[in-house]
Amino acid sequence: MKQRKSGMQINGIKISDTGVRLLLGDIMFYVVGQIFVLIFARRKIYVSIGFVIGVLLSVYMTVNMIISSIKVVHYDEHSAVKRMRIMAVTRDLVVFAGLVFVGITDVGDILAAVAGIFALKISAYANVLIEKIFFDTDNQENTSGIDADC
């Protein structure tokens, strides 16, 4: 049986299949969400802007988690835990600031922005479906999201 390489490389940084699947899930959620906005929303542009901001925050969270999981494997256990906490707090503060920005400036619908943030959660749950659609499922060796040979 032919084995495929796990993950992909961007600028020399190896990204696991799980990270790629999460980003694909964010994109799929965006497309489906925009279809719903176009069909059901009364203020389409206003709701769409909020939704786009939320999905962009979700993509930021996904990329932040991918980068932090790549970087922490080079630290000792104590430093790795500390680094992950710092990255998580930073990620949460950026999302909070994005929601505050949308709420204060009223540039888009705040509920649509929150719905857009759920793209990461939905893509995590849809990970298996995304794998079956876009990836070869014969090789199940690295589904943890962490590359051991970074």
pLDDT digits (tens, 9 = 90+) for 54-88: 999 999 999 998 888 888 888 888 888 999 999 99
3-state DSSP helix/strand/coil percent for the chain, to nearest 5?
Answer: 70, 5, 25
- 19-33, 57-71, 126-140: range with lowest mean pLDDT: 126-140
Calculate the average pLDDT of the chain: 83
51 band by pLDDT with thresholds 50, 70 and 90 = very high
The mean pLDDT of 5-32, rounded to a whole number, is: 76
Q: In Å, how far are 55, 59, 98, 113, 122 from 105, measured between CA atoms?
A: 18, 22, 11, 13, 27
The mean pLDDT of 25-44, rounded to a whole number, is: 93
Contact 83, 68 (CB under 8 A): yes
- Which residue ranges make up each domain of the chain? 16-134
Question: Residue 137: is its pLDDT beyond 80?
Answer: no
136 band by pLDDT with thresholds 50, 70 and 90 = low
Cα dihedral angle (9, 94, 23, 150), rounded to 10 degrees?
30
pLDDT at position 104: 97
* Nearest residue to 70 via CA among 124, 8, 146: 146
Cα dihedral angle (18, 19, 21, 26), rounded to 10 degrees?
140
6 band by pLDDT with thresholds 50, 70 and 90 = low
Question: Residue 18: is its pLDDT beyond 60?
Answer: yes
Contact 44, 38 (CB under 8 A): yes
pLDDT, tens digit, 9 for 90 and up, residues 93-119: 999 999 999 999 999 999 999 999 998
